[in-house]
Amino acid sequence: MFVFTIFHSCMVVNMLRISRDECVNTETATRKEWLDTNGLGGYASSTIINCHTRKYHGLLVAALKKPRGRFVLLSKVEASLTDGEKEFLLSTNKYPGVYHPTGHQFVDGFEQALYPTVTYRIGDALIRKTILMVHGRNTVLLCYEMLEGKTPATLRIRPLLAYRDVHGLTHENMFLRPKTYPEKNGCKIEPYDGMPPLYMGTNRTSTFFPGPKWMHNLEYMEERNRGFDYQEDLFCPGMFELDLKRGKPVIFAASVERLGNLEKMRKSEIKRRESLYETCKDRSQCVRGIQYAADQFLIRNASDFASVVAGYHWFGEWGRDTMIALPGLTFHSGRRKFGEEVLAAYAKLESNGLLPNYLDQRSEHLAYNSIDASLWFFWATQEYLKTKGSREFVIKKLSRAMKHIVESHLDGKTPLCGIGEDGLLYAGNESTQLTWMDAQAYGKPVTPRNGAAVEINALWYNALRFYLELMEGKNNGLTRRAREAADTLAANFADRFWNNEDGCLCDVVKHDGCDRSIRPNQIFAVSLPYSMLTMDQMRSVMDAVQDHLLTPYGLRTLSPRNSAFVPFYQGNADARDSVYHQGIVWPWLAGHFGEAMLRQAKDLKSAKAELRKYFKPILRSFPKDYGIASIPEIYTGNPPHEPNGCIAQAWSVAESVRLNKLLGGR
């Protein structure tokens, strides 16, 4: 696999190409996944040979308003070409003990630029297939073009429907209604009560042959590896048939809305993507590609709420992730207006000093189960102002929420949270997980961090100082209390947190002692705009972090010298959650590590050069065997640091963008 540059509609576009040799090998090809999104929280995704390995794969995975949630509607399309004598099947599925059909043998290559593209070679015919989700619509477009070949062929398209929640699986059942209704160049099907219809059709005259049939026991091997059920039945309502000729592309569409002019729709979507790519200006085409990929996380949800999807395929909207990812996804990527909308929308949801940590995709429910989402809100606003954002906007739209957050904490009104006599912010109890290290396994918190967590206090101090900065010139009861709280915290922070034995900060201060585990949370005490550490203390912290936690893919969550360190992420859900923050590498932490390094560097130019070189795997390249053209959620703790978790994670991509900016990207 390699990256090269092409000219796309007179525009230079960075392209990732995967060779035929990698495509025809099912073991290799099924580890490479693509993703295309629609700005609503929906997406299309599969492997490069269209062999699903996850229950989350699908060609039309829609975020619906009614019923509310994310659903796999159109799982896949089984396409084939026939010359009248022989049929060539282009799809690949995994069934018990066998791959069938074996369309991967015809794949000539896979490309990812502005959208995913697969080419097939059958004799003298070269066929190109592109996949596009239409922005702002639950609609997917598949375009088939004959690039080479003397003889026209007949294209057959068999849609396979799942029509179920994204986290579930479906099986043959008596409730599905198989009847289809004719539409222009297509048909409509209404499989289940309470679910939207699916409109399917083509841009050219086609014939639809009804032929309802269940396809049984398709296997999703990644689900088996993750300890979940992994076999599914899919429903095929029939087959579309039409001619495929050179110079006359065939567009097949599936949507929850009536289709309209497919050629115009496709042309408009490509133009939108070209324009989006043009706004991502950077000297490096690879960095520009990462900025372009950042757009896939920005959505308008079912409540028309400007928001951020934390990761694909299974994460939804998380307040903490949103605040951490927002600067890189928007302010540093030429999308300031959208970022403003997100900040303003979340500001309205403030309650008792907290922002919601979870926006339920299936309802209007908001979960206020995070102590730090509201504190990251201050940092996201600081990053907004650093990118020449409007101070007037902050005062008018955000300052009221900030005032309530500060006031609620000082008044002791924030749930499960309070300020001690030492000025430290204490939160949670033995049964809660309120920080970003929030994994639970076997019914218990894996890394109980109740007490005064180091990054919570660093964030709280930064929030207080930034609020006082915004309120400069105002001397009232709240500003006086905020200043006193910040001064008290600063006076006691180092004494309470300093770990003399290791020359760094403890992870959590409790009333009966300290957790001295060496974790990455201490870097925020260096990286945040307002710090309570001396320069010598900063350098000592960074020495410890480099010595214990640093990798080219981000920071480990626990020192390998700790007996609880586990570098591998595998097994069922409880087994994976047990090690989630026990040594696994998180790419998003590289952004704050880089900022912390630059803050205490003696030679800034040299430090930038070293960081660019060291973090090349997440700044200038992508995983070979995982999500294509994105950055995953995590990597394993030991070399060779295999990618794992979500194939595309918002804060991983965002902090890569931001770190590139810190290191000199435009």
* Residue 166 within any structural domain of the chain: yes
For residues 197 and 123, membership in a common domain is answered with yes
Tell me which residue of 508, 512, 522, 400 sits closest to 459, measured CA to CA: 522
pLDDT digits (tens, 9 = 90+) for 199-229: 999 999 999 999 999 999 999 999 999 999 9
Q: Is the pLDDT of residue 498 over 60?
A: yes
- pLDDT at residue 5 greater than cutoff 50: no
pLDDT for residue 273: 95
Residue 659: exposure state from Cβ atoms within 10 A (0-12, 13-18, ≥19): buried
Residue 534 lies in a domain: no
Domain count, the chain: 4
Question: Residue holding tokens 């025809």?
Answer: 24
Residues 136 and 40 in one domain: yes
pLDDT-derived band at 361, boundaries 50, 70, 90: low
Least confident of 10-19, 77-86, 177-186, 614-623: 10-19
Q: CA 150 → CA 182, 246, 308, 630, distances in Å?
A: 33, 8, 47, 38
Asked if residue 386 and residue 326 are part of one domain, the reply reads yes
Backbone angles phi, psi at 532, to 5 degrees: -105, 5
Tens of pLDDT, residue by residue over 324-355, are 999 999 999 999 999 999 999 999 999 999 99
Rounded Cα gap, residues 70 and 74, in angstroms: 12
Instruction: Return the minimum-mean-pLDDT range out of 15-29, 32-46, 350-364, 394-408.
Output: 350-364
pLDDT recorded at residue 151: 84
Measured CA to CA, the distance from residue 135 to residue 250 in angstroms comes to: 20
Question: What is residue 162's three-state secondary structure?
Answer: strand
Residue that finishes a domain, picked among 408, 432, 466: 408
Q: Which of 1-10, 184-193, 577-586 has the lowest mean pLDDT?
A: 1-10
Q: Return phi, psi of residue 335, to 5°.
A: -130, 45
The reply to whether 434 and 402 lie within a common domain is: no
- Centre a 10 Å sphere on the Cβ of residue 96 and count the other Cβ atoms it contains: 9
Residue 362 has what pLDDT? Answer: 67
Same domain for 250 and 361, yes or no, is no
Same domain, 27 and 129: yes
The last residue of one of the domains, among 358, 377, 408, is 408
Say what the pLDDT of residue 12 is: 54
426 and 404 belong to one structural domain = no
**Residue carrying the six token digits 């912010």:** 425
305 with 178, same domain: the answer is: no
In a domain, 539, yes or no: no
3-state class of 322 per DSSP?
helix
Please indicate, yes or no, whether residues 433 and 464 belong to a single structural domain of this protein: yes
Residue 542: inside a domain: no
> In CATH, what number is assigned to the domain containing residue 50?
2.70.98
Average the pLDDT over each of 34-48, 479-493, 618-632 and give the range with the smallest value.
618-632
CA 564: distance to chain centroid? Answer: 28
Q: Are residues 72 and 146 in the same domain?
A: yes
CA angle 273, 275, 280 (to 5 degrees): 95
The verdict on 147 and 93 lying in the same domain is yes
pTM (two decimals)? 0.95
Which residue shows structure tokens 């990118």?
387
Whole-angstrom distance, CA of residue 517 vs CA of residue 38? 42
pLDDT of residue 6: 45
Residue 167 lies in a domain: yes
Q: pLDDT tens across 410-456, in order?
A: 999 999 899 999 999 999 998 889 999 999 999 899 999 999 999 99
Query: Are residue 128 and residue 96 in the same domain, yes or no?
Result: yes
628 is in which domain, residue-wise?
Answer: 549-666
Domain edge (last residue) among 380, 408, 436: 408
Nearest by Cα to 296 from 319, 324, 273 = 273
Flag whether 102 is in a domain.
yes
Query: Going by C-beta distance under 8 Å and a sequence separation of 6 or more, which residues neighbour residue 77?
Result: 59, 91, 142, 157, 158, 159, 160, 252
Out of 53-67, 358-372, 583-597, pick the least confident.
Answer: 358-372
Start-end of H helices in 394-534: 399-411, 454-470, 477-497, 524-527
